[in-house]
Structure 1
Amino acid sequence: MHWPSPGENWFADDSDQPPPDHEDLRIEALVAQRLSGDWTTRQQQISVAVQNRVVILLGLVNDTNARQVAGELAWDTPGVFDVCNTLRLMGQRRGRR
């Protein structure tokens, strides 16, 4: 189970959405495997989503090093076209405008 994105609606009917591409599923599995096998990222709260070969990293990490390593591991995965690293630091709060 992944962390919900701010605009994500868990109750929306997504039956009209096309099934995920097999290449996206392969990339998602590879990135998740690499993150769980790396000492820096294995204990972090990271979810991986892939759409059109773009990796989206979601969740919370303990420090900037873990965020950077997660992004590098995703980029180094064969078949990845781009990486959207939305990982946030634990304890970091969004500023109000």
Structure 2
Amino acid sequence: MLMPWPYPDEGAFRPEPPRPAPDDEDARLAALVAQRLSSDWSTRGQQIVVTAQNRVVILTGVVAGPDARQVAAEIAWDVRGVVDVCNALRLAGPRRPRR
């Protein structure tokens, strides 16, 4: 009886390529920025969502005014490890009366 033996360039001998691990640095940066935004008096209570990708912090949501928008970006820039900030925060418009 002859047992087949795979050649070295077949899949049995090639090591499994490493799977990309979730970037813990991005999660850490997003958590730090969110914590600092919630502790600042001008951004506390605003509807700000913080995400990070490749050490770029992305701010989305709605804030009450331009000052809160600017302060949120400055807080994100002050976190060590942040390489860029994408400030996509929108300003809350005047409320329309219900009909």
Q: Which has the larger radius of gyration?
A: 2
Match of 1:85 among 46, 71, 87: 87
Deviation at 1:20? 3.3
Q: State the Cα RMSD in Å.
A: 1.3
Letter in 1 for 2:77: W
* Larger RCO (CA under 8 A, 6+ residues apart): 1
Gaps of 5+ in 1: 1-17, 93-97
In the alignment, the residues of structure 2 paired with residue 52 and residue 60 of structure 1 have an alpha-carbon distance, to the nearest angstrom, of: 24
Question: Where does residue 52 of structure 1 map in the other structure?
Answer: 54
Alignment-derived partner of residue 39 in structure 1: 41
Aligned length: 75
Secondary structure in 2 matching 1:86: strand
C-alpha distance 91-20 of structure 1, shift in aligned 2 (>3 A): farther
1:68 maps to which of 56, 67, 70: 70
* CA distances 1:44-82 after superposition (whole Å, capped 9, x unpaired): 000000000000000000000000000000000010000
Q: Which runs of 5+ in 2 are unaligned?
A: 1-19, 95-99
Q: Distance in 2 between matches of 1:42 and 1:20?
A: 29
Distance in 1 (CA, whole Å) between partners of 2:90 and 2:84 is: 19
Runs of at least 4 residues of structure 1 off by over 4 A? none
TM-score, normalisation: structure 2: 0.72
